[in-house]
Structure formats: C-alpha cells, structure tokens
Amino acid sequence: NAGVTQTPKFQVLKTGQSMTLQCAQDMNHNSMYWYRQDPGMGLRLIYYSASEGTTDKGEVPNGYNVSRLNKREFSLRLESAAPSQTSVYFCASSIGGTGSYEQYFGPGTRLTVT
C-alpha cells in the first residue's frame, strides 16, 4: 500500500496563478483532510471531507476550494494564489465514523508564491 500520496512535491507560483494539489489514499478511508503548516503555527485545517460526497470548512478556508472526487481522491485548489499561501500543505486520511481516529499524513507539498 502506498498510503497517502500527494502531487506535486514542490511548486512555485506567481501571484494570481491557480493550481490544484492532488491527494489520494489507498486505505479505503472515509475521511480526508487538508492542512497547511507554517513555521511556529503547527498544522491548521483548511477543509475536510468526513465522507465521500461531503466537504466542510476548517479553520482557515479562505482562498481555497476542495473537491472530493471519489472515495480515494481529495483535491485542493487555489484559484488566485497569494504570497500568504506560501506554506507546506499536507493531506491526511482516517477511517472515519466511530472507528480508529488516527490520521495518516501524506508527504506534503511545498508551495511558494512569489
């Protein structure tokens, strides 16, 4: 099993450009999450999908949109990138429901917006 995979690993954007970060998991998990990690700030939840077909905002959703494409895939889109969105983005998944609460993280995408 590959676990949680993310593409790309690195990306540089100019202000105003758009891009989509891809995430996939092969563990048959129901819930998926997008976090951003900034120095000294820990991990902050951007959006989550408790189950296929649902998405909800987390702590810091402004400037982002998400799509739960199917049970395996959960993408994060930046419509008009801003320097404040320079960060490391992690996708995570968990079984969801009343099962194990453990979240498994992907390797991350390092995004720089100039």
Partner 1 sequence: GENVEQHPSTLSVQEGDSAVIKCTYSDSASNYFPWYKQELGKRPQLIIDIRSNVGEKKDQRIAVTLNKTAKHFSLHITETQPEDSAVYFCAASLGGGSQGNLIFGKGTKLSVKP
Q: Which residues bind partner 1 (CB under 8 A)?
A: 31, 33, 40-45, 48, 50-51, 54, 56, 58-59, 90, 94-108
Minimum CB–partner distance for residue 34 and partner 1 (Å)? 11
Nearer to partner 1, 7 or 18 (CB): 7
* Residue number with CB closer to partner 1 (85 or 109): 109
| In the complex, least distance from residue 43 CB atom to partner 1, rounded to whole angstroms | 5
In angstroms, what is the minimal distance from the CB of 51 to partner 1?
8
E-assigned strand segments in the chain: 4-7, 10-13, 19-25, 31-37, 43-49, 56-57, 64-68, 74-78, 87-94, 104-105, 109-113
- Report the residue number, 2 or 14, with the smaller CB distance to partner 1: 2
